[in-house]
Structure 1
Amino acid sequence: METKDPMFELLSSLEQIVLTRDVMQAGAMTESEVAMPEPKRIREISGMQIDEFALAMGVSVSSVKSWEAQRTKPSGSAQKLMQLIHSNPYLGRQLLER
Structure 2
Amino acid sequence: MKDELFADLLASAEEMVNIEQGKQSPKPEHVHTYSEIDVKSIREAAGLKQQDFALAVGVSYDLVKSWETKRRQPTGAPRKLLLLLQANPGIIKQLIAIGR
Normalised to the residue count of structure 2, the TM-score between the two structures is 0.59
- For this pair of structures, how many residues does the alignment match? 66
User: Which stretches of structure 1, 4 residues or more, deviate above 2 A after TM superposition?
Assistant: none
* CA-CA distance at 1:76 after TM superposition: 2.0
* Unpaired segments ≥5 residues, structure 2: 1-32
Indicate yes or no: 2:79 matched with 1:79.
Answer: yes
Aligned mates of 1:61, 1:37 — CA distance in 2: 17
Quote the RMSD (CA, aligned, Å). 1.8
Q: Give the Å deviation of 1:49.
A: 1.2
Instruction: Name the counterpart of 2:91.
Output: 91
Is this contact kept in 2: 1:85–1:91, CA < 8 A? Answer: yes
Match of 2:45 in 1: 45
Higher relative contact order (CA 8 A, sep 6+): 1
How far off is 1:37 after superposition?
4.1
Equivalents in 1 of 2:97, 2:57: separation in Å? 13
Contact 1:56 1:92 in 2 (8 A): yes
Structure number, greater radius of gyration: 2
2:93 match: secondary structure? helix
**1:19-64 deviation line (CA, Å, top 9, x unaligned):** xxxxxxxxxxxx88xx464000111111111111101111000000
Aligned ranges 1:1-98 → 2 under 5 Å: 35=35, 37-98=37-98
Amino acid at match of 1:67: W
Unaligned runs of 5+ in 1: 1-30
